[in-house]
Amino acid sequence: MNSVVTFYWTAIVLGLAICVSGQSTQCTIDGVGDSQWNSMLNIQINDTHKGTTFTGATSNTNSLISVDDLSNLKYPYVKVEFIDKELIITLEEIFNEFEEYETVPQINIRLTFSCTGSSRTLIVRHTITDTNNHEPVFLPNNNYNIFIFTPLAVGFPIVPIFETIYVKDVDLTNTAIIPSIESNEYFDFIYDGTNGTVKIHKFKLVVKKVLYSLEEPVILEIRATDKDNTGDPPHTTDGTVEINSDPTVKIPVTPSFSMPFYRSTFIDGELIFDEKIVIDQGYDELDGLKLDGEHSEYFDCNQNGKEVEIVILKPLPEDVIKQNSFLLFSLVATKLDTPGGKTAINVKLPRDDVTLEILQFDELFYNYTYEEEKLSGPDIILLDSHDNNITIALDGEHHKYFEIKVNIELITETLLPPEIIDDNNFIVLYIKAENSKQVSTTSVVTVNFPKPGICLQTHRLD
Ligand SMILES: [Ca+2]
Ligand SMILES: [Ca+2]
């Protein structure tokens, strides 16, 4: 019995010894340390890398049992071979297109080897460093044709029919495409978000000033420049847009003066203006240009292209000069199918008669705003007025909706009709003060109607 027990014990000890000697013959690969076997073998490559990424002779390795993809990528980008006891890892040809399809810069695989008496697994990670090896590409091609229907408001987006301007840049760290367009007066070229696809950016052209018509096709060069985290120089790709419209479709442009108010001084029988009177929009094909208002009959106006000159038609009577510090009248431009344009002309009269009492407002021009049914603006002050019998009157467009309070402030007691606000960006009022000696003075008040969005027919205030 003892010899039998001894035999079993010997067999158990021998078995254990064989197991222990099996562990000591596990697989090894040159260039792969224990820490890498325990975590992973990280291989750093550029996105432009080609061919082999790792070779290493093995020991105690019988075969490569399996290669498993751990990254769930579109293609197997890595080939693993075990030839003559050597592990060889190579990039497949399709890796050239890795950036076309993938967004995560890693390829993870698991290798399982058959070792002497056991097996061993090794995780291999290829970490891909991005370089700026791709240029931005306009899609579907870099020539776009756009047809527009004028008029178009500022900010109106224009895009090709049945397509969109896309730019693709597949570099792994691409963060943006910066658009630019050749210098032109009509359009800006701006970013318009993504189309929901990573690596594809959307763009549009927008109208940068009111576009009433395009007489000729406009062909513009557009550019897309990439931005990424590679540290490499950016790439720029050129494209063109051709914009056409039907030139027979036109709307008349409402005439508009560059300023709501022009100052002048009457010196030695001449009118000297602070600045030129300019019709900055819609000056062509005017039906008429006329002066309107009290004392305007002494003056005349002539149009020369965009500019308007006001001249003295007949001498100002002495009593007009004596009784007024200023004259104020309107210059009106009329044009068929438009509301026309209007500006105020202020003429400062000479004051060499020092005995004449001067009556004057503190400003020649007051700017009020009517917004959300509230009127706001500066106090209107009469200077050096010791006369208790001064009358103040209001005149001008829609003046019946306003009144002047004693202290002096412009107010409105009634809500302005919506059509007045809709049809105008501003209206002009005249305030006239007259004292008991019939000395009078005038000033201009503009009431602005701020509007969100765009108004095609504008009067400029600045
Ligand atoms: Ca790029
Ligand atoms: Ca790249």
pLDDT digits (tens, 9 = 90+) for 178-236: 999 999 999 999 998 877 778 899 999 999 987 877 888 999 999 999 999 999 999 99
Going edge to edge, which strands form the sheet with 143-148?
143-148, 236-245, 218-227, 176-181
Model confidence at 26, in pLDDT bands (50, 70, 90)?
A: confident
Closest CA to 292 of 284, 283, 282, 300: 300
Q: Is the pLDDT of residue 448 over 90?
A: no
Rounded to 5 degrees, φ, ψ at 241 are -125, 135
Per-residue confidence band for 255, with pLDDT thresholds at 50, 70 and 90? confident
Å from CA of 102 to ligand 1 middle: 15
% of the chain residues with pLDDT over 70: 88
- The average confidence (pLDDT) of the chain is 84
pLDDT in tens, 132-158: 999 999 998 999 999 888 878 788 888
What ligand has the least distance to the C-alpha of 134? 1
User: pLDDT over 90 for what percent of the chain?
Assistant: 45
SS (H, E, C) 340-370: CEEEEEEEECCCCCCCCCCCEECCCEEEEEE
DSSP-based three-state secondary structure for 142: coil
Minimum-distance ligand to the CA of 224? Answer: 1
Rounded to the nearest angstrom, the distance between the alpha carbon of 109 and the centre of ligand 2 is: 22
Ligand found nearest the CA of 173: 2
Kindly give, in sequence order, each residue whose CB lies less than 8 Å from that of residue 162, ignoring residues fewer than 6 positions away.
none
Least confident piece of the model among 205-209, 246-250, 320-324: 246-250
CA of 266 to the centre of ligand 2 (A): 72
Tell me the C-alpha distance between 363 and 382, whole Å: 9
Could you tell me the distance, in angstroms and rounded to a whole number, from the CA of residue 324 to the centre of ligand 1? 72
d(CA 244, CA 216): 7
- Write down the pLDDT at residue 266: 87
**134 Cα to the center of ligand 2, angstroms:** 6
DSSP string, 73-109: -SS--EEEEEETTEEEEEE-GGGGGHHHH--SSEEEE
pLDDT at 2 over 50: no
The yes-or-no verdict on residue 97 having pLDDT over 90 is yes
φ and ψ at 4, to 5 degrees?
A: -65, -45
pLDDT in tens, 155-194: 888 877 667 899 999 999 999 999 999 999 999 999 988 7
Task: Quote the ligand 2 centre to 78 CA distance (angstroms).
Answer: 18
Polymer length of the chain: 462
Token pair 């076997």 in the structure block, residue: 37
- Domains present along the chain, CATH in parentheses: 25-129 (2.60.40.60), 137-245 (2.60.40.60), 256-448 (2.60.40.60)
Q: Rounded to the nearest 5 degrees, what angle is found at the Cα of 285, between the Cα atoms of 284 and 287?
A: 130
Strands 106-115 and 143-148: unpaired
C-alpha of residue 237 to centroid of ligand 2, in Å: 16
Question: Residue 19: what pLDDT?
Answer: 39
* Ligand 1 centroid to residue 380 C-alpha, Å: 61
Helix (H, G, I), strand (E, B) or coil at 323: helix
Most confident of 29-43, 136-150, 333-347: 29-43
Hey, what are 332's tokens?
């009106």
Q: How far is the CA of 236 from the centre of ligand 2 (A)?
A: 15
**Model confidence at 460: pLDDT above 50:** no
Model-level pTM?
0.55
Q: How far is CA 108 from CA 63, 67, 82, in A?
A: 20, 10, 18
What token pair was written down for 158? Answer: 């224009």
| Stretch 302-311: mean pLDDT | 92
pLDDT at 399 over 70: yes
Ligand nearest to the CA of 102: 2
Q: Closest-lying ligand to the alpha carbon of 133?
A: 2
> Which has the closest alpha carbon to 266: 234, 230, 221, 298?
298
Residues 6+ apart with CB under 8 A from 225: 136, 177, 178, 179, 180, 234, 235, 236
**How remote is the CA of residue 402 from the centroid of ligand 2, in Å?**
67
Distance 172 CA to ligand 2 centre (A): 6
